[in-house]
Structure 1
């Protein structure tokens, strides 16, 4: 992360720019913030590329590919530029964590326990990518972030739909040398087996500090490297013996000879989720803490854009939220913070659900519960991954603008009561990247109070089909801001609704709600709806 340079714009798309995260051939990546203090990775495209109609189509496909892949191991698209904008841009969640490439370069290969855990987590991510009908096509150490809670697979910049080879030009090398599959090296259309090959090459790098087709410190010319990938056997010296044969199978020259991600996961043994944080080296935990603290200081020192409150408009009819997950961008986000101890009087709250009005081009993040041996259980809640950082200001992210009036600091009596809603759940989910569930009920109770007070409780009930497990969560809600018919709530505690459950619920969720009608609440754009959750909450008491 580096400071903004002279000439950098103060904002893009209504989001304040705070620092530079990187740049490449396509454009630049900035750390940005929403009006309520949520950090974003905002990726811009060079203006000359934006003027190219073919590139504009490719960028639109990138956004769609990012937004189709939604899982615990990817980051979500928050916003993006309108068609024809210059420059074009894409904003996603930001993860304050080093990449695998950066970490190995500075600290050397991972230990075998960390390597095996990384393999399980990334294979679960790859299964989610495949389930969404997408091929990543650029899995490399720089596109794996070593988050504190789990690793993230990011940057679907050259991802393509599995059954849409029209957009991969034959004869063009797409991917990163040293980690691409032989079919990519020869310019053929790469499908799911190419991602298995690249992931295996990344795991060899994590175990040895080099690509399986390079010697230590070697930098051959591109043609020589591509020749090795197509014709030479991989060098697997230094890979733990228990993984060497399995990764060798993944690095087979012919795509049909490689195992699937599911088969590789079975070969590694164990399941994703629950182990990662326990095998991280202490230095990596310290590095994550340092980055999180730095991000906190930058956010605390920044100011939201001064934007006027919009003129009152007739409230549009609610539209159901599409279930799309996550999204990803080169430098993701999700800054995990230690959850506060739950107060005895509050058993925490989960998913608020309602409608996302906002700009029609924005697609909300829809987290789902992941189950099965290869997946991580994720609580069924609406999730904003950054805890509230303070700061007022109204903006496109749906945050409220605080008023100088004393009455603006208290929740209006019209909000007090019990609000309920029932959604269909996810009966058609794959049961791997998202849990298959029945009806999804949400109950929110709000009481009178002022900003800073615990004013409510949210309880969700959603049962997994087959096992009957309740994947809902309960959260205690603190009032953060209020202005007219809009209020911002932060979840200060969160735990499973079922006391016997063993999964963890997300912490620090943020909800921006509008009292659309006297008896109906809806969720604004600084929030998201869990898959299968109710589209609206109505007053029930």
Structure 2
């Protein structure tokens, strides 16, 4: 992470820029924040690329590819630039963790228990990528983040949908030399087996500190390296015997002889919850802790001053008194941003469908919306009194407690997406959202959301159920986060992400409007009304 340079924009797409994260062939990457303090990785596109008449379509395809892959091992798309905007940009979740490349350069190869765990986790990630119909095509150490709970596979910037060969050029090398499959090195169309090859090459790097086609400390020209990848056997000295047969199979020159991602996962065994954090070096856990603490300080320092909300033109009728004190961190209600001018914003998103939570606040259609990020680093629970005070005025409602006026059952119906293409976005009928809210303080679970929406082609219920935790409340606007999430249909095979951040506004005693940070979807209910 580096400071911003003179001439850098202060904000892009309504998101304040805080630091530089890197720069590549496509553009620059910045650390940004939402007004409520959620960190984002915001990638901008070089202006000369944006001026290419064909680039807008390619950039849009990149976004669709990123957004199609949703799992515990990938970061979610949060927002992106509207058509015609300069610079073009894409915002995703930010993980405050070192890449595998950075870690191995600074600390040496991973110990064997961590290496085995990395192999299991990345194999599971690759299965989800394959299930989404995507080929990553650039799996390399720099695109693996070593998070404290699990590794993440990032940057699908040059990935292409498996079923969209029109946009894959033969004769062009796509990927990073040293981790390319032979078919990529010769410019052929690379399918799913190429990712298996690259995964094995990454494991060689994690175990030895070098790629499989370089000796220690060796440097080669690009043509010489590509020649080795195509014609020479990999150098596997230093690989643990327990992984050697699998890695050798994955590095087969012939794509047809490599095991599929599902077989790789089966041979390695399932990735169990907690295995990663137990296996990685203590120094890595300490490093991610330092990065997260630094991120919190940066977000806190960039927090805008608290703004006093204007008094309503007509006082709300008979709001019950609510106790509390001023919040420990200011909250500014967030308007819909970026793509919100193109599609309605809704709360939550399943890995293939709508979100339903213990506090059912919103729903996102498959392939869009919610994300799996944890609580935003910049918005700690507000400090409020846990006991009621006798009779404060409605205007003095606590920023740390949900007022009694919110308590009750709320519901709404959206039209769904009956005209969607059924590929990049599921074709669904009407969906319903039912929310039950109870009184509670910041940091507590205050409700339940249940969403139901059926996919037209299959009849599957793509809804999710979430339990919502109150993060902040000020005036008539509240921020809640999904603490737990699971498919409403317990037999469903997709995953519902946790940590989605929701912004609710009590516009009238019987009406809640919904918004979320980047949860983009069409067909969602715009508001919920109180049940009678």
RMSD over aligned Cα atoms: 4.1
Distance 1:173 1:278 in 2: 38
TM-score (norm 1): 0.74
1:54-453 matches, within 5 Å, as 54-304=54-304, 325=351, 350=358, 352-355=360-363, 363-365=368-370, 385-387=375-377, 389=379, 406=396, 409=399, 414-419=405-410, 443-447=435-439, 452=442
| 1:306-350 deviation digits (Å, cap 9, x = unpaired) | 999989xxxx99788896759xxxxxxxxxxxxxxxxxxxxxx74
Contact 1:353 1:533 in 2 (8 A): no
1:457 to 2:465 alignment: no
Contact 1:37 1:391 in 2 (8 A): no
Distance verdict in 2 for CA 1:364–1:408, change over 3 Å: same
Distance 2:227 2:137 in 1: 19
Which of 458, 474, 477 is 1:482 aligned to?
Answer: 474
Which deviates the most, 147-156 or 264-273? 264-273
Distance 2:496 2:404 in 1: 30
Which of 523, 526, 531 is 2:514 aligned to?
Answer: 523
Query: Residue 243 of structure 2 aligns to a residue in which SS?
Result: helix
| 1:110-146 deviation digits (Å, cap 9, x = unpaired) | 1111111111111111111111111000000000000
| 1:165-193 deviation digits (Å, cap 9, x = unpaired) | 22121111000000000000000000100
By how many angstroms is 1:50 displaced? Answer: 0.6
| 1:445-501 deviation digits (Å, cap 9, x = unpaired) | 233x7x858582337699xxxxxxxx96645x33612344x322356x76999xxxx
Contact 1:354 1:529 in 2 (8 A): no
Distance 1:350 1:406 in 2: 28
Distance 1:520 1:271 in 2: 44
Contact 2:98 2:288 in 1 (8 A): yes
Query: Residue 126 of structure 1 aligns to a residue in which SS?
Result: helix
Distance 1:322 1:57 in 2: 27
Contact 2:179 2:211 in 1 (8 A): yes
Query: Residue 173 of structure 1 aligns to a residue in which SS?
Result: coil
Distance 2:467 2:347 in 1: 22
Distance verdict in 2 for CA 1:454–1:256, change over 3 Å: closer
TM-score (norm 2): 0.75
Residue 539 of structure 1 corresponds to which residue in structure 2?
530
Query: Residue 289 of structure 2 aligns to a residue in which SS?
Result: helix
By how many angstroms is 1:528 displaced? Answer: 4.6
By how many angstroms is 1:248 displaced? Answer: 0.5
Distance verdict in 2 for CA 1:230–1:483, change over 3 Å: same
Distance verdict in 2 for CA 1:85–1:454, change over 3 Å: same
Contact 2:362 2:449 in 1 (8 A): no
By how many angstroms is 1:540 displaced? Answer: 4.1
Which of 476, 487, 503 is 1:512 aligned to?
Answer: 503
Contact 2:100 2:206 in 1 (8 A): yes
Query: Residue 110 of structure 1 aligns to a residue in which SS?
Result: coil
Distance verdict in 2 for CA 1:275–1:3, change over 3 Å: same
Query: Residue 174 of structure 1 aligns to a residue in which SS?
Result: coil
- Which protein shows a greater Rg? 2
> Aligned residues, how many?
456
By how many angstroms is 1:510 displaced? Answer: 3.5
Contact 1:521 1:537 in 2 (8 A): yes
| 1:59-101 deviation digits (Å, cap 9, x = unpaired) | 1111110000111100011111111211111000000000001
By how many angstroms is 1:228 displaced? Answer: 0.3
Distance verdict in 2 for CA 1:518–1:180, change over 3 Å: same
Distance 2:42 2:116 in 1: 32
Query: Residue 242 of structure 1 aligns to a residue in which SS?
Result: coil
By how many angstroms is 1:526 displaced? Answer: 2.3
Contact 1:384 1:528 in 2 (8 A): no
